[in-house]
Structure 1
């Protein structure tokens, strides 16, 4: 685990109810006897306990299966998913090179059921299975954090990241094999697909013809979420819901996050269409919070969800192999003696880029201009709620969006109104303190066990916009106060001075990082990061040779309209175009869109507080499992 993470850094932390433990099931070690009697009769439990137990190993998978603690506290236990893991993987595997070999089948296999090599073998004596195709995806919040640190624009920060991961002066210049990332994706592109799918999910769930989820369905992938529908893009919130409040699972959106969607798209297309085994595609995500490492470790987000005829005897391949944060990315550059501030601020040239093998997905994943993030009204967490609200607004001409603040800045209520009529209501809840109020109001009323008693009447919440949460159609829930730009993995104001000093950047006396930072300075710093996030421009591009030119964005629109009301464009996103890309993705892989776009959730069972076995019962069970008995 990267040494930069500690519990003190976490802003989405709830104190664990119990200590985090992973007991190693072994018999108690007996004290060695001073006397050695060759005729002494012993028992097999004493023999089995003669060797000390191996040290316990705790992984994220163990954390996901335990309800002892929640949210980012679990990330402290990560042994992998760090910048060191990225470097060790690059040093252990040469990069896979094109050309890509497409095939006629739909199962990604050739030559008698084995994967074809899908790449040139080269002349360096590497075995095909040693090579890996390295792909990275970068969030806009990460770019905003680095943009504020190095006093550049969010677009320039993104170019610097790409130059580090794929450029000639970045990771390619070092390591055992000069391995680097073939593609660096902008998760804003995948977020457009998520926004369109989220709007459709909400519309479908709220329609009178939709099939409500069964009471015992929880968060199954093939069920319809209940009103109010709760965002599923924040892994800290999802982990908290699964472990402590399973009654909210039927309300969770089934939609994958942009991080998960990026991994699913890359691995499914390249394995199903271009013969590259999923195990040889290594996907790195650069995200604003440590909880994204938890998301990458979920068993639901693996090749078993989308690989046809999946062999259950084989270990599923994760859609996202490793997650690092903005702070860890700087450690990655430092470990290779690369000055991040000195990296080119321009895109890769056309000769340095490898086009994605599918032309239609190439145009979608690498558009000619970066998508603008969102305005401040949409928030810093992807704008799910605001896009859904704008979709409804496009379907109701003459309506307007009303915004009102709740009990604090992280609770905001949105209403779509026309005349005196409220068409739909939504809300935003950021930070665990507000989330606790939200789930408390969603808790079902208890039924008295007394004969003839009625259902208990719940006491309404005290004030605030969350008083009538069940009236909301959709609630955008994020664990971090202030949203994703304030993620636990972002560069903190206390670290900015050291980073800039190490990079040789002069700090002005009026800079917030020049003085001894405190809460006031941290707040000012977050405002600077938000400014970088919201001010990302979308009307300029640098062409393939690095020359700046103006670009008139032409979003492809097919015949007809996606909603039947003549409003295909919502916040600059063409719903028809995005749906066409998603349909093409499903056709290329032979996998239905539900398996590609959606996932499931489950209640996490725990034995905390339950009756524990006595030592005699435990020893008896272990002895019998070793082949003996009493």
Structure 2
């Protein structure tokens, strides 16, 4: 990875470095054409007469090589695209075990070369709210209606099931907002543990790790920030771990037969899915083959390409709820009620915060601030605007006006560079008699206070947050996409193309459109008094969960806390249930690890064992 970060003025994304050596390494050696004359001299022209085959770079190569930083748009990729989705869905028959109500079961002799030899898989998709917002703004519908259209495309009778060799589709289409709530509760607990010095593995301030572009950048250029990185998995990764671990551990379905696709707002999510830490070895052990928790990641634009490749008009798809005929229940009743609640609820409270202050990047900072505020009676949250719209400072003030918690938001790589620079430990002076700066060379503190006082920092690579991801639909493509279908609202084809800033505001507005009461009123059954999903009666059917709920305090916290519409006790009961049905420790299911990637570009290749032993022998006075 290049130490110098290049970013243009339009999107602030990272461009690939020129030091990438993977294409050179993968080219096969060129051999001269055989000749019948053994005394013929081979010339350079003869060796290079044939054009070498083009080199291909996979996303795994990009993670292993530290020669460049990439947003993955400029990387030559052969996997994790809409073509890969079409190929897999077209090649494989949809697996319908007995508990899914299908006519075929896993043991029907259709797999592993038996029967008709057609491979079978359970197809599962998870959709991010930012993707739905991008499509909603494009076609002038609500975020919720866009979600229904995606469901119809992936699982409905007018979508993928209408074509293909086997009529396969996605058995379940999940909303990542479900796992987002679990991530928020875990993130708040993680931040509190660091505050209380109960988490020896993390240092203050805790830095968000849900953005894979930021994680890749930190691992390859600033490993000194890794002790600050949150170990929590992102909603994408946790969703993949949930569905595969439960189906494999409780229902005996091999992870290879479960194909999980995520639709995300940025290309760097493809890099996250390729991480070796996010595979079945993390929760199932290393005895079996390594299988990714997320098999493929596509973006909003690629989702539309998926529909176009099957001659499906996305804007003409029904905007209504998918029939239960095409969405069987998840086999575990408790998890089914979690994944498919009887009604949708607001993603977060906007009573005391403007949406712009909460952000469109899943709200980690917002939820942690509200959690800290709940721990201090009559406290208030004060917001300080930074040098630009992507930098903000937040303080939780006690009733007496004393600052009890401080956090910040840093979006965009230009701002991130300032953050990591200030977090870099100070170097000790080599001058004779010099003394170290007070604090033992800890975090650099800018004038007027800074990151040394922060307990938590929400870091995102994209300016403006996740709704501005590189995989979102661009403003220049909107008119072309609208002309490809009918039923457009907001003026249809006559609408003037908005400017980029205005377009991002529309996407953000669509992101929050699911918060309106009008959009939530058509299926309000199952909502309890606090506005949360009434999942407790199912989640607590597990005996361990009952014990958990009956205890009035867990880790010193009231299990009945409802913060920002999220019941912490219910989320923790879900974690306990998840661990029970899989037999895996919750730490292996929820948390991950990061590692420093040292650049080897321009360096000599590591020597072999023979050369290394010889070198050591010379150093000690011996030799061969």
* TM-score, normalized by the shorter chain, greater than 0.5: yes
Specify the TM-score bucket, using the shorter chain as the normaliser.
0.7 to 0.9
CA deviation string 1:274-303 (max 9, x = no partner):
111100100000000000000000000001
CA contact (8 A) 2:193 2:199 kept: no
Cα offset, 1:468, TM superposition:
0.6
Q: Does 1:599 align with 2:592?
A: yes
Which aligned pairs between 1:258-407 and structure 2 lie closer than 5 A? 258-308=235-285, 310-311=286-287, 315-374=289-348, 375=350, 376=355, 377-407=357-387
Q: Which residue of 2 aligns with 1:523?
A: 501
**Distance 1:9-1:285 versus aligned 2 partners, 3 A rule:** farther
Which aligned pairs between 1:37-76 and structure 2 lie closer than 5 A? 37=38, 55-73=54-72, 76=75
CA contact (8 A) 1:230 1:474 kept: yes
Q: Which residue of 1 aligns with 2:514?
A: 536
Cα offset, 1:608, TM superposition:
2.2
| 1:478 alignment partner, one of 439, 460, 473 | 460
Partners of 2:427 and 2:494 in 1: CA distance: 51
Partners of 1:143 and 1:388 in 2: CA distance: 25
CA deviation string 1:339-381 (max 9, x = no partner):
1111111111233321000000001111111232234132100
**Distance 1:156-1:120 versus aligned 2 partners, 3 A rule:** farther
CA deviation string 1:78-107 (max 9, x = no partner):
211111110000111000013249xxxxxx
Cα offset, 1:196, TM superposition:
0.7
**Distance 1:211-1:564 versus aligned 2 partners, 3 A rule:** closer
**Distance 1:184-1:87 versus aligned 2 partners, 3 A rule:** same
**Distance 1:450-1:609 versus aligned 2 partners, 3 A rule:** farther
Partners of 1:294 and 1:342 in 2: CA distance: 32
Partners of 2:500 and 2:128 in 1: CA distance: 21
TM-score normalised according to structure 2 size? 0.83
Partners of 2:170 and 2:72 in 1: CA distance: 30
Partners of 2:489 and 2:143 in 1: CA distance: 20
SS at match of 1:24: helix
| 2:153 alignment partner, one of 142, 145, 164 | 164
Q: Which residue of 1 aligns with 2:396?
A: 416
CA contact (8 A) 2:426 2:444 kept: no
**Distance 1:252-1:137 versus aligned 2 partners, 3 A rule:** same
Partners of 1:262 and 1:496 in 2: CA distance: 30
Q: Which residue of 1 aligns with 2:221?
A: 244
Which aligned pairs between 1:122-161 and structure 2 lie closer than 5 A? 130-161=119-150
Q: Which residue of 1 aligns with 2:409?
A: 428
Q: Which residue of 2 aligns with 1:578?
A: 571
TM-score normalised according to structure 1 size? 0.82
Cα offset, 1:51, TM superposition:
10
Q: Which residue of 1 aligns with 2:542?
A: none
Q: Which residue of 2 aligns with 1:230?
A: 207
CA contact (8 A) 1:500 1:507 kept: no
Q: Does 1:181 align with 2:159?
A: no
Partners of 2:56 and 2:10 in 1: CA distance: 23
SS at match of 2:25: coil
**Distance 1:239-1:32 versus aligned 2 partners, 3 A rule:** same
SS at match of 1:605: coil
Cα offset, 1:305, TM superposition:
0.5
Cα offset, 1:261, TM superposition:
0.4
Partners of 1:328 and 1:8 in 2: CA distance: 24
Partners of 1:119 and 1:165 in 2: CA distance: 26
User: Structure 1: which 5+ residue stretches go unaligned?
Assistant: 1-6, 43-47, 102-115, 213-223, 622-630
Cα offset, 1:451, TM superposition:
4.5
**Distance 1:170-1:26 versus aligned 2 partners, 3 A rule:** closer
Cα offset, 1:505, TM superposition:
5.2
Q: Which residue of 2 aligns with 1:608?
A: 601
**Distance 1:257-1:429 versus aligned 2 partners, 3 A rule:** same
CA contact (8 A) 1:541 1:548 kept: yes
User: Structure 2: which 5+ residue stretches go unaligned?
Assistant: 1-6, 529-533, 537-548, 612-624
Q: Which residue of 2 aligns with 1:499?
A: 481
CA contact (8 A) 1:131 1:280 kept: yes
Partners of 1:30 and 1:166 in 2: CA distance: 51
**Distance 1:513-1:425 versus aligned 2 partners, 3 A rule:** farther
Q: Which residue of 1 aligns with 2:541?
A: none
CA contact (8 A) 2:15 2:70 kept: no
**Distance 1:73-1:151 versus aligned 2 partners, 3 A rule:** same
CA deviation string 1:536-579 (max 9, x = no partner):
1375789xxxx934436124554435553576101111111111
Give the RMSD, CA atoms, in angstroms: 3.5
**Distance 1:387-1:607 versus aligned 2 partners, 3 A rule:** same
